[in-house]
């Protein structure tokens, strides 16, 4: 299995990035590259985050962005908001929500990493999501090899 890379960009930049990734480009600065997972695991992260911030059942399904690349997927706005909320979601006595989501994600079947690595990935992905600015027409994108 290859890798999955998450990054923030505009639609046009995402298509350029997809082309570069298809050509074997290294990870882009600021992107989160995770070996040995697919878009399915990213969707599962969205589901787990949704439950953690009390927003289950929203649209957490990644969508094809453009026919030019079937490896490039867009993260729906509901999932972007939910992931960004992991950085600041306040609970009463429930512990660190981001930490719980990371532990649950790492515990998913066939995940290639443990809770410590998952925590780093989830934090970095949440930070990417928090950096999405609709005013600049940017979005969160997923490319899977």
Are 83 and 50 a contacting pair, CB within 8 Å?
A: no
Are 108 and 54 a contacting pair, CB within 8 Å?
A: no
Digit-coded pLDDT (tens) for 36-72: 999 999 999 999 999 999 888 888 999 999 988 899 9
Structural domain boundaries enclosing 128: 3-144
What's the pTM? 0.94
The reported pLDDT for the residue numbered 68 is 84
Greater pLDDT, 136 or 120: 120
Digit-coded pLDDT (tens) for 62-91: 999 998 889 999 999 999 999 999 998 876
pLDDT higher than 80, residue 94: no
Cα R_g (the chain), whole angstroms: 14
CA distances in angstroms from 65 to 15, 52, 73, 99, 116, listed in the order given:
9, 27, 5, 30, 31
How many structural domains does the chain have? 1
């Amino acid at each position: 299995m290859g890798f999955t890379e998450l990054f923030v960009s505009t639609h046009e930049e995402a298509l350029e990035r997809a082309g570069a990734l298809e050509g074997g480009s290294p990870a882009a600065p600021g992107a989160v590259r995770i070996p040995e997972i697919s878009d399915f695991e990213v969707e599962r992260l969205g589901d787990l985050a949704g439950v953690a911030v009390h927003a289950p059942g929203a649209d957490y399904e990644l969508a094809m962005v453009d026919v030019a690349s079937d490896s490039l997927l867009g993260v729906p706005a509901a999932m972007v908001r939910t992931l960004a909320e992991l950085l600041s979601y306040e609970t009463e006595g429930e512990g660190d929500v981001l930490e719980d989501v990371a532990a649950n994600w790492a515990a998913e079947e066939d995940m290639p990493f443990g809770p410590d690595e998952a925590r780093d990935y989830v934090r970095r992905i949440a930070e990417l999501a928090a950096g999405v600015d609709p005013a600049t027409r940017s979005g969160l994108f997923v490319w899977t090899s």
